[in-house]
Amino acid sequence: MLKKIPTVSLPNYVVFSTLALLLGGCAMTGNGAFSSQSDTAPMKTVPSTSVEQSPEPPLPKAEESTPAQPAFVPPPPPTKPTYKALQYAAGDSELGSLPALEPGNKGKAVKNLQTLLAEAGFYRSPVDGIYAQQTQIAVRAVQKALDLPLKNRWRKNDWGKLLAYRGPDLPARSAEPNRVEVDLDRQLLYLIKADQIVAILPISSGNNQSYVDQYNKKVKAETPLGNYEIYRRLNGWREAYLGRMYRPWYFYQGYAVHGAQQVPPKPASHGCLRVTMWDADFLADELELGMPLHIWIDGGSIIEANQETETLLSKAE
């Protein structure tokens, strides 16, 4: 049976007294990725009392137990959640007068965009009216959610498209009001609390390319599809065989959701789920040990991790 997943109610919040008001880290690197810097202030620094030097994946300690790969369970049918459209006092007939925006822009129009993105769940940074790195990342997340071409700028017709957005189709899981859903097709992570979508984060997952692991074995950089639970977390930085991970949350063997200094808009990791540094700080206060985490493609399809996944995962590139 289909179940509607309610999301955060999005009240009317941007009221313009005149149409004139409407007109009012991650920097791009050479390879199209972002480096971790904030819009207006340095990223919050979280001290790490100890830095592990063990190779990835982490070997469980004697008192710890790494969860086994869960058996395949067909996902529940998708359901269209209730997602209230955002409104402008000026009305839809005047949306065409809202400006296009791009990195470097400042002012009332950028502040209105940031407020709109925050209310829709895409933006978690200060509403300061500066179109900088965090605003740019949020714009990319909207473009992924709406299946739009990925650009750094906000186009004039994007205002109306976001206002018309009614939220994603997500699998119905009535027994799991608090959970994480990961859509590898769109490269998005949905944080759900009390059956409400409270945040939509861009990610970068496994790129499905071959590499040599610490055991000198040739393997593929795949993100395992399936149903998991978060079983371990580390604060601060962790030095691993394949690179550094910031505030990782492990959900299966050495696979984790973690902050990274490079989070391209496409799959680029060795299998982990990369998020921006500031989103890693945000998740540090939101995720919990034991929280369910579901990774899927094609609107909820999953397969066993030990089954051949090359064809399916190539769709997420």
Give, for all 317 residues of the chain, the pLDDT tens digit.
444 454 444 444 333 333 333 434 333 344 444 444 434 344 444 444 433 333 344 444 433 455 655 554 555 555 544 444 455 544 444 666 789 999 999 999 999 999 999 999 999 999 999 999 999 999 999 999 999 999 989 999 999 899 888 888 888 898 999 999 999 999 999 999 988 899 999 999 998 887 777 778 888 889 999 999 999 999 999 988 778 899 999 999 999 999 999 999 899 898 999 999 999 999 999 999 999 999 999 766 664 433 333 333 333 33
pLDDT of residue 282: 97
The pLDDT score that the predictor gives to residue 52 is 39
Q: How many CB atoms lie within 10 A of CB 17?
A: 8
Given the structure tokens 């902050």, which residue do they identify?
259
* Residue 76 CB burial class (10 angstroms; 0-12, 13-18, ≥19): middle
CA nearest 180: which of 296, 291, 297?
291
Q: How far is CA 34 from CA 8, 28, 192, in A?
A: 29, 5, 26
Which candidate, 1, 166, 183, 145, places its Cα nearest to that of 77? 1
Give domain limits for the chain: 81-163, 173-316
Rounded distance, CA 312 to CA 200, Å? 23
Question: How many Å apart are CA 236 and CA 247, to the nearest integer?
Answer: 5
How far apart CA 37 and CA 34 sit, in angstroms, is 9
| CB-count burial class (<10 Å; 0-12, 13-18, 19+) for 241 | middle
135 forms bridges with which residues in the sheet? none
Residue 87 has a pLDDT of 52
User: Which tokens go with 272?
Assistant: 């982990």
Q: How far is CA 313 from CA 77, 94, 170, 186, 262, in A?
A: 21, 42, 19, 12, 21
End-to-end CA distance of the chain: 32
Place of tokens 């070997």: 59
Predicted structure pTM score: 0.69
CATH class of 81-163: mainly alpha
SS3 314: helix
Pairing of strands 210-212, 218-220: antiparallel
Kindly state the helix (H) or strand (E) to which residue 2 belongs, with its residue range. Answer: none
CB distance 211 to 226 below 8 Å: no
Give me the residue label for tokens 């592990």: 52
CATH topology match: 81-163 vs 173-316: no
Instruction: Determine the Cα angle at 313 with ends 292 and 268, to 5°.
Output: 85
**Per CATH, which fold does 173-316 belong to?**
L,D-transpeptidase catalytic domain-like (2.40.440)
What is the predicted pLDDT for the residue at 245?
Answer: 93
